A and B are shown apart, each in its own frame.
Chain A
Amino acid sequence: MKALLQKLLMLVPTVLGITIVAFGLIRLVPGDPIEVMMGERRLDPEAHAALVKQLGLDQPLPVQYLDYLGKLLQGDLGRSMVSKAPVSEEFAALFPATIELAFMALFLAVVMGLLLGMAAALKRGTLLDQGVMGLATVGYSMPVFWWGLLLIMTFSVNLGWTPVSGRVAIEYEVQRVTGFMLIDAAMHPEPGAWWSAVRHLLLPGIVLGTASMAVVARMTRSSMLEVLREDYIRTARAKGLPMTRIVGVHALRNALIPVLTVIGLQMGGLLAGAVLTETIFSWPGIGKWMIDAIARRDYPVVQAGILMTALTFIAVNLLVDLLNGIVNPRLRAGGH
């Protein structure tokens, strides 16, 4: 508990720093902020002055910042310049889609990455090992958006196995309950709805998860190989334990420790990659939302997107940190 609070405390300056960055974003754009936001349409001086007052831009910067911070704490992320709707509402509507995508990608990356990495380590030097590692290298060298286009070309267009866009087939009118299509579609009376949701999530998830899968596989392999050289593995063999137990119990736990850190680091890449993946698959998440906003100069949206993404990333890192403490007894307080 105490460790958790300490960690949270350490994060406060970083979080504040991010709010400053997000706050500063609009003001750093060269030119008059109002003209920037209005898309450089010439406003008559009265409307201009009114807007300045309304947006509080006549106040000194520190006051503006505190005002911004105050609004943040109340959950007010401003209003979209384009749709005039509160940004927080739009965000809440779109965020689950991105989370679902990122989780699918993470799930695939972790499961496949661990399996492939372990197989490569256990069959070291064989064709399987070299093949897996070769594919892994290609996997993280691949531009995500091109990989997506290739897969769409092959599986959606040429083979027709997977859909091209959207989260679920339109004929199922899935009610929005949680925002997570896999959950919402499961509540639909027809089982076909859930399968449709899975099919829609599959390709984007694979595309987004490939690079991470490759990194996890490589890391798992090298970590496993290192662990298998350790003295305690020799002791386990001297005890007469079968190989399955030696690998699955003794080696795995220790091999996973550095892999866990790597998985945590992958989240950042996944959030970034989501931006690209959503654009290709027209996936209605915050990535696409932010890119569209940049094109339309909808700065409050961009600002909010950056802020929330950074906060998510920090939260995930904190989680990984905590998990590390649980999995690795040497990190727990009270060592000798």
Chain B
Amino acid sequence: MNSPFQEFWQGFKANRGAFIALLVFAALVLAAVFAPWLAPYDPIQQHRAHLLAPPVWMDGGSWQFVFGTDELGRDLLSRLLHGGRASLGLGLAAVVLSLVPGVLLGLLAAFYARSLGPVVMRVMDILLALPSLLLAICVITVLGPGLVNTVLAIAIGALPGFVRLTRAAALTELPKEYVTASRVAGAGTLRLMLVTVLPNCMAPLIVNASLGFSSAILAAAGLGFLGLGVQAPLPEWGTMLSSARDYIQRASWVVTLPGLTILTAVLSINLMGDGLRDALDPKLKRVH
């Protein structure tokens, strides 16, 4: 008899797309973590003699700058590697920062459905009245741009979603008998929330957290692109694209490579999320 985790892992592995995505994503994470050692150059160092050098596979490219350089002569490979730390780290931080308070608030809203609940949901309604990117822009407007503020902005944008999700899942579980049994056995509210109910809400939460991760990376890139997120010269994949528009004709690699990296990261996370969903919820699996 397999443990639940083993069963889950079997199901996940069976989805080839998800599995390959996991490998690709793991590679990206490792590349980002070991960036300082893997990157051939300092990402903000400008090589004035090699502005807009093409990558090695194009005419005029060389192995000196494998992915070429940007308009300020900075090595693209190094910037992409270091940028991974910003983009991926940012995404992760934002998800965690929205997931933890979101789950807690959602549980509170479900458990105190008559007092605290409506208040919390009303506030969430207001936050949800704005599309999350615009909410993030609001926060940036108030706090100013930069790495930390970007994390906060994206986290605030994602918070209402997790609150709603957790609350809905908890409300479904609360009337069930196992909860009543725990209550009768003397479990306090905190224990009820975290130990009894929460584990049974995990499936949709995990799936949405993975989607939230990919949205956070896209949002961070978007803010970077608009000049509101991570500020130059710090490398971040979206920020790298913000001045790229001027170089579409002359130096297409400045446009394609960072975007391709974002796409790869987000796509692999989304495919993993799909695999997670299929492995965790057998009912949904039928439809595919």
Q: How far is the CB of A291 from chain B (nearest CB, A)?
A: 6
Whether B245 pairs with A141 at a CB distance below 8 angstroms is no
Whether A28 pairs with B142 at a CB distance below 8 angstroms is yes
Q: Is A251 an interface residue (CB 8 A)?
A: no
* Interface of B, helix, strand, loop or mixed by DSSP: helix
Q: Is B35 an interface residue (CB 8 A)?
A: no
Q: Is A88 an interface residue (CB 8 A)?
A: no
Whether B259 pairs with A150 at a CB distance below 8 angstroms is yes
* Chain B residues with CB under 8 A of A144: 218, 222
Name which of A11-19, A53-61, A198-206 contacts chain B.
A11-19
In the complex the two chains form, what is the Cα distance from A15 to B129 in whole Å? 8
* Chain B residues with CB under 8 A of A194: none
Whether A268 pairs with B131 at a CB distance below 8 angstroms is yes
* Chain B residues with CB under 8 A of A153: 248-249, 252, 255
* Chain A residues with CB under 8 A of B130: 18, 268, 306, 309-310, 313
Whether B263 pairs with A142 at a CB distance below 8 angstroms is yes
Residues B201-250 near A (CB distance < 8 A): 214, 218, 221-222, 225-228, 238, 241, 244-245, 248-249
The size of the chain B interface, using a CB distance under 8 A, is 43
Q: Is A35 an interface residue (CB 8 A)?
A: no
Q: Is B137 an interface residue (CB 8 A)?
A: yes
* Chain B residues with CB under 8 A of A310: 129-130, 134
Binding site for A on B (CB under 8 A): 122-123, 125-126, 129-134, 137-138, 140-142, 214, 218, 221-222, 225-228, 238, 241, 244-245, 248-249, 252, 255-256, 258-259, 262-263, 266-267, 270-271, 274, 287-288
Extra 11 A-B pairs, beta carbons < 8 Å, given A137-B270, A143-B259, A150-B255: A13-B125, A29-B142, A142-B263, A145-B221, A149-B241, A157-B248, A268-B131, A269-B131, A271-B131, A272-B132, A275-B133
Binding site for B on A (CB under 8 A): 13-15, 17-18, 21, 25, 28-29, 137-138, 140-147, 149-150, 152-153, 157, 222, 225-226, 268-269, 271-273, 275-276, 279-280, 290-291, 294-295, 299, 302, 306, 309-310, 313-314
